Amino acid sequence: MGRGRLFILSGPSGVGKGTLRERALDDIEGLVYSISCTTRRSRPGERDGVEYRFISRPDFEERVKQGRFLEYAHVHDAFYGTLKEDVERELDAGHDVLLEIDVQGALQVRQRMPDAVSIFVAPPSLEELERRLRNRGTEGGEELRLRLKNAAEELQRAGEYDHVVVNDNLDEASLTLRKIILDYRLEHEVG
Ligand code: ADP
Ligand code: 5GP
């Protein structure tokens, strides 16, 4: 079996990356998710080692020093990073790996692994993005404002990605994402 391929999913907070990612993992056999490390606090319902590995700031810094991150970034108000060893293990096992990371991390991965396929998830509009974030209800006040401010900047970066998926209708966006991933597999089999 050949090595797997790395897919990067990026886009502003609240655009639906987590929702699309879950669907992709349910729908596509052989696709695995790389669980990131973060220094942010867990939200109600989040489990350590499932949504994220929740680690302390000193632990995070130690891993940075040891060079264990494929990429890491300070996003909103916490650190987030992808462990190299997790990604390499899955790619070596022949699995395709999905990362859900911010635009700074995506840039680092594209530089280090030029074969990675980058996908930007865009909202139909900033108004709709704000509506989704408010409805999700996981952040309020300053945190919500920070995410919306960052979103406007992140949207400027969509053109740097290999693919842009507009998450307007969820079913359509899921299908588009699925097709992007499966088309790369087909290309690999043919080529
Ligand atoms: P992200 O992971 O990008 O921060 P989420 O997946 O948590 O975003 O989605 C943010 C909110 O928007 C959630 O409440 C989710 O159910 C909702 N949502 C996701 N996709 C759509 C869509 N296409 N239309 C309407 N609401 C959506
Ligand atoms: P949240 O706190 O809402 O789960 O995620 C906030 C942001 O951090 C999202 O844009 C998400 O994609 C990003 N993120 C999650 N994990 C990583 C990671 O490992 N690296 C980077 N660079 N960003 C991440």
The answer to whether residue 60 sits within a structural domain is yes
The answer to whether residue 59 sits within a structural domain is yes
Which pLDDT belongs to residue 1? Answer: 67
Which pLDDT belongs to residue 76? Answer: 85
Q: Work out the number of other CB atoms within 10 angstroms of the CB of residue 90.
A: 21
Our answer on whether the CB atom of 13 is closer than 6 Å to any ligand 1 atom is yes
Provide the pLDDT confidence category of residue 24 given band limits of 50, 70 and 90: very high
Helix 170-190 with 17-27: angle, nearest 10 deg: 50
- CB 79 within 8 Å of CB 131: no
- What's the mean per-residue pLDDT of the chain? 94
What ligand is nearest to the CA atom of residue 133?
1
CATH code at 104?
3.40.50.300
Q: Work out the number of other CB atoms within 10 angstroms of the CB of residue 58.
A: 9
The answer to whether residue 1 sits within a structural domain is no
Structural domain that includes position 150: 6-190
- Determine the distance separating the centroid of ligand 1 and the alpha carbon of 45, expressed in angstroms: 17
Which pLDDT belongs to residue 139? Answer: 82
Q: What is the pLDDT of residues 129-164, one digit of tens each?
A: 999 999 988 888 888 999 999 999 999 999 999 999
The answer to whether residue 84 sits within a structural domain is yes
Residue reference for tokens 């859900």:
100
Q: How many independent structural domains does the chain possess? A: 1
